[in-house]
Structure 1
Amino acid sequence: MTAIGTTDLKRMFDAIAVSIEADRDRLCQLDGVIGDADHGIAMALGFGAVRDALASLDAATAEPTVLLNTAAKSFLNAVGASCGPLYATAFMRAASAVKGKANLEDADLIALLQAMAQGIKDRGKAEVGEKTMVDAWQPAAEAAAAAHAAGKSLPESLAAALAAAERGAEATKDMVAAKGRSSRLGERSLGHMDPGAASAVTVIAAMRNSLA
């Protein structure tokens, strides 16, 4: 059993910001094929803003819900692109999922991951198979929940989530985009990984590495 507090979540967001910044150029290249070539920039702006906003948060007194709602607000304020509302909704849903808890146990972290995935799915009105970040997030959340239900540890559950996200992102190469700007390309979007799914893998990997 793991106890994750506000300090740990703060460290998690720091790790995500570093990972996304390191991956920024690759994400922009992926987006350049089927979008506006700015996805890496938008994600780096968003998570950089989250890191800066959380730096002034008192981890000793703020509960995880406060931290997650702060993350939602700062990401949305920083990012005008489509990923802004998606990740803001993810963090707000996560905040609701762990409301009233000072420390999060394994089941709470799984619930947080599921809430994020569902928030992204609801806000984007997307389903698996439509070549979006949902193709990585939903399998990740389902895999984490299944692993946890089977008695796996948090590190094992997060590893299962990452593996599922990687498979989901890879699968987007064989999909025709049905949502967003890339949907205008139709069949020409085939053969290319969705940048939102690719960045989701980067985010989930950073979460796994930080929390496990």
Structure 2
Amino acid sequence: MSETDPRLRKMFEAVAQAVIAHADELTELDSAIGDGDHGHNMTRGMQAVLGELDALVAKPWNEALKAAGMQLVMKVGGASGPLYGTLVMTLGKSLDTPPTRDGLTAALHAAIEAVMARGKASAGQKTMLDVLVPVSEAVSAGRSPAEVAEVARKACAATKEMLATKGRASFLGERSVGHIDPGARSSQIMIEAIAEQLGDAK
């Protein structure tokens, strides 16, 4: 089976393996302010993507992303499955093939808008959006992959001092302060993996 674009396999593998490698950390973060299942759930989703990898990479970028997003919806479960699935599927629906910088910028913006609508959330509520929104702004500004990764790292770290007003962590009130949001951390892990792949491609 021939691949449409060999970069696609590397991208999927890098993201999935990075998330799986940090499963214990994600579980620990989620145990503090959530259900304690984020690492396990995200690992299940990423393993499903890896299990379908040959079929995925035979597709164009947009179709591959839509199919991968569907895997995340079906396999991740919890609150994260629909949100990450929506993010990836909307990226696929909106992305040009092969991807261009302008196309990626527009697709990322559309995907984040879809996540906001699905989760009825916005930046500043201690969620994955607190990483995704500044990352989208950095991509729109033409920042390099390394710079985008740094934006993601700083944005993730900043969630530690935020008060959660959305999701299960919001039930803790002030006790949610002092903990990094697990969704922000998993988003940062994936963005860093993508940035590394984009940086290596130059």
Same fold? TM cut 0.5: yes
Tell me the amino acid that sits aligned with residue 186 of structure 1: G
1:171-208 Cα offsets, whole Å, 9 max, x none, are 11111111111111000001111010011110000111
Instruction: Provide the aligned C-alpha RMSD in A.
Output: 1.6
Alignment partners' CA distance in 2, 1:72 and 1:79: 10
Structure 1 counterpart of 2:131:
136
Structure 2 counterpart of 1:117:
112
Structure 1 counterpart of 2:93:
96
Alignment partners' CA distance in 2, 1:131 and 1:45: 24
CA offset at residue 117 of structure 1?
A: 2.6
1:113-165 Cα offsets, whole Å, 9 max, x none, are 3333333222212111100010011101111111x2xxx5xxx1x22322222
1:105 aligns with 2:100: yes
Secondary structure of residue in 1 paired with 2:69: helix
Give percent identity, aligned residues only: 39
Are the counterparts in 2 of residues 49 and 74 from structure 1 also a CA contact under 8 Å? yes
Alignment partners' CA distance in 2, 1:165 and 1:57: 27
Equivalent residue pairs, number: 196
Alignment partners' CA distance in 2, 1:176 and 1:58: 40
Alignment partners' CA distance in 1, 2:92 and 2:115: 14
Alignment partners' CA distance in 1, 2:190 and 2:15: 6
Structure 1 counterpart of 2:40:
41
- The aligned runs of 1:5-44 (5 Å cut-off) are 6-44=5-43
Tell me the amino acid that sits aligned with residue 114 of structure 1: H
Structure 1 counterpart of 2:71:
74
CA offset at residue 58 of structure 1?
A: 5.3
Are the counterparts in 1 of residues 26 and 39 from structure 2 also a CA contact under 8 Å? yes
CA offset at residue 10 of structure 1?
A: 2.6
Shift in CA distance, 57/33, structure 1 to aligned 2, threshold 3 Å: closer
Tell me the amino acid that sits aligned with residue 37 of structure 1: G
Structure 2 counterpart of 1:180:
167
5+ residue gaps, structure 2: none
Tell me the amino acid that sits aligned with residue 130 of structure 2: D
TM-score of the aligned structures, taking structure 2 as reference length:
0.90
CA offset at residue 8 of structure 1?
A: 1.3
Secondary structure of residue in 1 paired with 2:22: helix
Alignment partners' CA distance in 2, 1:121 and 1:170: 21
CA offset at residue 35 of structure 1?
A: 0.8
Secondary structure of residue in 2 paired with 1:56: helix
5+ residue gaps, structure 1: none
Q: Which runs of 4+ in 1 moved over 3 A?
A: none
